[in-house]
Amino acid sequence: MTMKLNPPLSRNRSRRRMKKLRIGEFQELGFTLSAELHKELSPEEQNAFLSAFLDDVIEARGLAYGGGVDLGFVSKFERGSATEEDRQAVKTWYAARPEVKETTVGDLVDCWHEGPQYTA
């Protein structure tokens, strides 16, 4: 997992600065996705699976995805946050696939920083 670089705490930040740092009201949320497959997929099967996932869920909902078939991270494509509805749509799509044995969709977390001090 990559290390997130957190900006130093400050009480007197302008809204412009908070927007640039993506903190406070400008915080952006995303979630992790992990799946256990019934069998390992060939490269062609992986490409077909990911293409369908990107077309059916990710692009249709204005999201971005980084990862592979069995592990990744979902966030909003433009500025903004993924929603609880986005989480459920991803989970439902994965659960309906015959290749997938089990799916785990993580909670919404800050895409850019770690720690509760950046939420408000």
Segments making up each domain of the chain, as ranges: 27-118
What span, in angstroms and rounded, lies between the C-alpha atoms of 67 and 32?
Answer: 10
Largest CA distance in the chain: 53
Note the helical H segments in 11-106: 15-21, 43-53, 84-96
pLDDT in tens, 33-87: 999 999 999 999 999 999 999 999 999 999 999 999 999 999 999 888 999 999 9
* Total-model pTM: 0.80
Cβ within 8 Å of residue 25, ≥6 positions away = 15, 18
Q: Measured between alpha carbons, how far is residue 80 from residues 36, 48, 50, 83, 117 in Å?
A: 29, 28, 23, 9, 19
Architecture of the domain whose range is 27-118: 2-Layer Sandwich (3.30)
